Amino acid sequence: MSTRLVGSVAATLAMVLVAGCGGSSGADGKIELSLGLFSDFGYDKLIEEYMASHPNIKIEQRKVKMEQHNTQLATQLAGGRGAADIVALEEGVVSQFRASKDKFVNLAEYGAKDLKDQWAGWKWNQGTTDGGEFVLGLGTDMGSLGLCYRADLFAAAGLPTDRTEVAKLWPTWADYVKVADQFTAKTPNVKFVDTGRNVYKAILDQTEEGYFAKDDSYIAESNDKVKAAFDTAAALGTKQQTGALEPFSQDWNVALKQGSFATTTCPAWSLALIKAGAGDAAAGKWDVTKAPGEGGNWGGSFLAIPKQGKHPKEAYELAKWLTAPEQQKRIFKETGNLPSQPKVYQDAEVLATVNEYFNSAPVGQIFASSAESLKPTYRGTKDSKVGPVFGTALTRVEQGKQSAAEAWTQALKEATDAAK
């Protein structure tokens, strides 16, 4: 063991130290661009095409889980090195990164402002700051909100099952709560909704100002709309009409498969998750319709360019190309990620899209109209710090740990701390 071992230590170490594992730029004179992504942006084919038409450019994707992606990106920005040339910023955290805009390239420098009209107004605004002077990111997809429901469970509860009829049941969220009561009265063993948290989020997202006023001042304490949204969702929890599930978690998948809840707020991208979780056995049982209130959006991302990258210009060209309407349309067709550009989501072909699994629901239409009617809420710089506090508060109510009032008081206190 002895001498051979020592020899191989030396050899291995030398190998590792000498072979500078992977340099970033130009082994063969090509410009190397990296894309830091999470989940599935559906870029695989597009990237191959782009490399074929731009022989001097080599592109690689880095995919990790969203949570890791954000942690890594923050570390890389703090450390001043290592971030991908183009990074995806999810809607929920984009405001947080917006606060560190000097770590990013102002895309306006490369003429991004000329592209403004491609996107829905609110989507464009989410990606900019300084009154629109600083363009942080170009929008990719969006998460127009619909409401998914199990038609068979509705039938069992004596509720209508047709999606237009169902939509008529709940013009407002107050109506939605009434339907919940009717549902529970008939079928007490099935939960009406997976989690109250997303109901809360959906209601709040339909208000103009949430936790922060448009001047970025913290107003959660005085904003009645926050309290109203919270109370509505908490009431569902208190009456045990929610499944107290973490969306997309393992338990959530199981509940889907077992058919233990009847509705869920569903952004466009979540249809695939519902389908995967519920499985083939539930095909045609799930349907999707208009959500209560006026429109809604959950999720969707932006492509931004960290300043530390070596090739900002080339990176910008690539980001611009990937987010251009033609490409967005193709991504939609391949993955179902909903484009954030009116020209695309109002394209006849997109509008005509139906989802077979969801009882052939005209998802193109439903989501496009949701996006159209959306008056998005203003997201403060610290929105992503404050928001989760109210989410966990609702979970406490659902778990029976606290009353709605207790949960609210604690949430408000924590939120005020986080907003400091």
Partner 1 sequence: MTVTRQETEAAPAVSVSPSKEPKRFRLSSWDARYTPYLIIAPFFLVFGIFGLYPLVYTAWVSLHDWQLIDGNQGFVGLANYVELFGDSKFWNALFNTLSLFVLSTVPQLLAALGLAALLDRGLRGSAFWRAGVLLPNVISVAAVALVFAQFFGRDFGIVNFLLGFVGIDPIDWRAETWASHLAVSTMVMWRWTGYNALLYLAAMQSVPKDMYESATLDGAGRWRMFWSITVPSIRPTILFTVVTSTIGGLQLFAEPALFDPGFAANNSTGGSDRQFQTLVLYMYEKGFRLFDAGYAATVAWMLFVVVLVVAVVNFTLTRRIAGKG
Partner 2 sequence: MKNAKAGPLLYGFLVAVLAASIFPLYYSFIVASKDNSVLGEKVPPLIPGGNLVENITRVFDTVDFWLAMQNSFIVASSVAISNVVLGTLAGFAFSRLRFRGRDSLFLVVLGTAMVPTQLGVIPLYMLMSDLDWYGTLQAVIVPVLIGSFAVFWMRQACEETVPYELIEAARMDGCSVLRTFWHVGFPAVRPQAAVLGMFTFMTAWNDFFWPLIVLDPNDSPTVQVALSTLASGYYTDYSLMLAGASIAVLPVIAIFVLLSRQIVGGLMQGALKG
Q: Binding to partner 2 by residue 1, rule CB under 8 A?
A: yes
Number of chain positions touching partner 1 (CB under 8 A): 43
CA proximity to 227, closest of 245, 244, 210, 202: 210
399 touches, from partner 2, partner 1, none (C-beta below 5 to 8 Å by class):
partner 1
Give the shortest CB-182-to-partner 1 separation in angstroms: 24
- Footprint on residues 229-258 left by partner 2 (CB under 8 A): 248, 250, 253-254, 256-258
Contact predicate 337/144, CB 8 Å: no
- How many Å apart are CA 412 and CA 53, to the nearest integer? 54
What does the per-residue mask of binding to partner 1 show for 33-62, with x meaning CB under 8 A?
------------------------------
Which DSSP string corresponds to 398-419? HTTSS-HHHHHHHHHHHHHHHH
Burial class (CB within 10 angstroms; exposed 0-12, middle 13-18, buried 19+) of 330: middle
287's tokens: 């349907």
Q: Binding to partner 1 by residue 93, rule CB under 8 A?
A: yes
Which DSSP string corresponds to 80-148? TS---SEEEEEHHHHHHHHTTGGGB--GGGGTGGGGGGGS-HHHHHHTEETTTTEE-EEE-EE-BEEEE
Of 124, 261, 269, 408, the one binding partner 2 (CB under 8 A) is 269
Of 8, 24, 56, 250, the one binding partner 1 (CB under 8 A) is 250
End-to-end CA distance of the chain: 60
**CB nearer to partner 2: pick between 5 and 348:** 5
Q: Give, in order, the Cα–Cα distances in Å from 322 to each of 24, 43, 199, 394.
A: 22, 8, 32, 38
Q: Which residues contact 245 (CB under 8 A, 6 or more apart)?
A: 194, 195, 251, 252, 255, 261
Q: Binding to partner 2 by residue 200, rule CB under 8 A?
A: no
CA proximity to 227, closest of 20, 369, 356, 415: 415
SS3 of 390, please? helix
**CB nearer to partner 2: pick between 201 and 290:** 201
- How many Å apart are CA 317 and CA 335, to the nearest integer? 23
Give the shortest CB-68-to-partner 2 separation in angstroms: 6
Give CA angle at 159 (153, 165), nearest 5°: 115
Number of chain positions touching partner 2 (CB under 8 A): 50
- Footprint on residues 157-196 left by partner 2 (CB under 8 A): none
27 touches, from partner 1, partner 2, none (C-beta below 5 to 8 Å by class):
none
**CB nearer to partner 1: pick between 259 and 325:** 259
Q: Binding to partner 1 by residue 71, rule CB under 8 A?
A: yes
- How many Å apart are CA 314 and CA 59, to the nearest integer? 11
Give the shortest CB-79-to-partner 2 separation in angstroms: 4
Stretch that binds partner 2, among 13-21, 108-116, 188-196, 340-348 (CB under 8 A): 13-21
- Footprint on residues 30-49 left by partner 2 (CB under 8 A): 34, 38-40
Q: Binding to partner 1 by residue 403, rule CB under 8 A?
A: no
Give the shortest CB-15-to-partner 2 separation in angstroms: 7
247's tokens: 């969306």
Q: Binding to partner 1 by residue 255, rule CB under 8 A?
A: yes
Give the shortest CB-90-to-partner 2 separation in angstroms: 11
Q: Give, in order, the Cα–Cα distances in Å from 196 to each of 3, 173, 277, 407.
A: 65, 12, 19, 13
Q: Binding to partner 1 by residue 77, rule CB under 8 A?
A: yes
Footprint of partner 1 (CB under 8 A)? 65-67, 70-71, 74-75, 77-78, 92-93, 96-97, 99-100, 102-103, 197, 244, 246-252, 254-255, 258, 260, 384-385, 388, 391-393, 395-396, 399-402, 418
Footprint of partner 2 (CB under 8 A)? 1-2, 5-6, 8-9, 12-13, 15-17, 20-22, 24, 34, 38-40, 60-66, 68, 71-72, 75-76, 78-82, 248, 250, 253-254, 256-258, 269-270, 272-273, 276-277, 279
